[in-house]
Amino acid sequence: MSDSPTLIAFPGAASYQPGALASLAEKDGTVRGFLSVIDEVSQEFDGGPVTGPLLERGERDLPTLMREDPIAFHLAIYAGALAAYRALPERPEGHRRILLGLSLGEVMALVAGGAYDVVSGARIVAHRTRLLCDLLGEDTGAVVLEADAERAEHLLAALGNPSLAVAVENTATQTVVCGPATAVGELHDLAQQLGLRASRIATPFASHHPSYQHVSDRLWHDIKGLPQRPLREPVYSPISGGFYRDGEDLARAVADHISRPVRLRTALQLLHSTGVEEFIECAARPLLTPLIATVLTPGAPARTEPAERRSVPPQQRRETALPAPEIPVAAPAPPGETCTFDELRAVYVEALGYPPEAFEPETDLEADLGITSMRQTEILGKVLNRFELADLPDSFAVSAYPTMGEILEFVRAHAAPAPGAGK
């Protein structure tokens, strides 16, 4: 291990996968007890347990749990990330680590860093979720654009709707914008008209918008009494643009996350300039690795915890979150026959609400994302409808096409005319 600090990263929303901790729980007998503590907090807020969703692979998938029980959904993300952090090897003496979270992940980073205990952190997550659902909910929305923050700002200016704001600056090719749901829809349509890839994010609420200060104030009121402790490890905030300090009002800082933008790319650039090269992502379902790798050096070591899924080749993990679109051939062909990976991915993003970077050619929909075969078949039907293709044959078995790359090959082959048929 080098002398440079290791970045420990915690993702936010969407980093849930059913049964993600099953293997870890078999190896570590303390996992169930840890999850039971989170279950008790969830019950305080009328949410369901997180133990089942995180230990049972046949549990509800991401969009279902998010829709049916947002409290349990966000606490499952919280619990999964901290369980992964607890499973990390002991830090070598003298080796420095820096903790960083994206959006909701900042709460996990603060708990891991020692500023809050596990129960207090869970209560912050629950209070935050309940307030955002009650005060914002379905009236708000978010869209991810294939653009840097500056280009996204230009697009907002062109639309001329001041109710929209940049919420998250992920990478040089990915920015999240949020605001009223209707305005977000208009931005999505404008981006597509201009040839800019855009995907609506399935979420029970938006956050990181300056007009949500009233929600921040309510959250601060609800969590200001939670006990705050000295930090054991440094925690860097992509929202405040600096390290948290002992003695500052962390409840106020955490509450203000809701009304301030996340500058992940800027934070990573700064940390890299100070010598950070290695990173580990702690999550039930890692999402930040492809984002972080676009900013840190191309050869930077990276791994995720817990590693319970099919391994992805390092060169694949280091692709940008939204690769450049393929250029279709000029010859006339049925839409499905010229379907690009990005077009296919857009259907799955829309159907499942997962971020675009969750889908790569090697992604196994069931093993990596916990999507049941029934749900896969349903979405594939949407794909065939989108590209005006024939229905699935009676002999079709979705298990024969487990990865996104194999599904793309099937769609193209399904669209191809029979031998001798005219086009």
Structure tokens at 242: 């600096």
Per-residue pLDDT of the chain (423 residues; tens, 9 = 90+): 457 899 999 998 888 889 999 999 999 999 999 999 999 999 999 999 999 999 998 888 888 899 999 999 999 999 999 999 999 988 888 789 999 999 999 999 999 999 999 999 999 999 999 999 999 988 999 999 989 999 999 999 999 999 999 999 998 889 999 999 999 999 999 998 998 888 888 889 999 999 999 999 999 999 999 999 999 999 999 999 999 999 999 999 999 999 999 999 999 999 999 999 899 999 888 788 888 888 875 544 555 555 343 333 333 332 222 232 332 333 334 455 678 888 888 888 877 767 777 788 888 887 667 676 667 887 888 888 887 777 776 667 777 788 898 898 888 877 654 333 333
pLDDT at position 327, please? 28
Name the residue among 286, 247, 287, 277 with its Cα closest to residue 95.
Answer: 277
Structure tokens at 142: 């978010």
Q: Are 78 and 190 a contacting pair, CB within 8 Å?
A: no
Q: Are 370 and 18 a contacting pair, CB within 8 Å?
A: yes
- Entry pTM: 0.76
Q: What are phi and psi of 11, to 5 degrees?
A: -75, 170
pLDDT at position 140, please? 94
147-152 long-range contacts, CB within 8 A, separation 24+: 147/173, 147/174, 147/175, 147/196, 148/172, 148/173, 148/175, 148/265, 149/175, 149/263, 149/265, 151/175, 152/177
pLDDT at position 367, please? 66
Q: Are 285 and 250 a contacting pair, CB within 8 Å?
A: no
pLDDT at position 309, please? 37
DSSP per-residue string spanning 334-374: -GGGG--HHHHHHHHHHHH---GGG--TT-BTTTTT---HH
Strand-pair partners of 235: 99
Structure tokens at 196: 């800019």
Cα 225 off chain centre by: 30
For the chain, domains (ranges, CATH) are 6-135+211-317 (3.40.366.10), 138-206 (3.30.70.250), 335-415 (1.10.1200.10)
Q: What type of residue sits at position 334?
A: P
Residue listed under structure tokens 């349509």: 189
C-alpha pair distances (Å), 260 with each of 9, 78, 195: 20, 21, 29
Cα 282 off chain centre by: 12
pLDDT at position 372, please? 65
DSSP per-residue string spanning 173-217: TEEEEEEEHHHHHHHHHHHHHTT--EEEPP-S-----GGGHHHHH
**Quick check: helix, strand or coil at residue 43?**
helix
Cα 168 off chain centre by: 12
Contacts of 358 (CB under 8 A, 6+ apart): 14, 285, 287, 369
- Please state, in angstroms and rounded to a whole number, the distance separating the CA atoms of residues 243 and 246: 10
Name the residue among 331, 343, 95, 54 with its Cα closest to residue 199.
Answer: 343
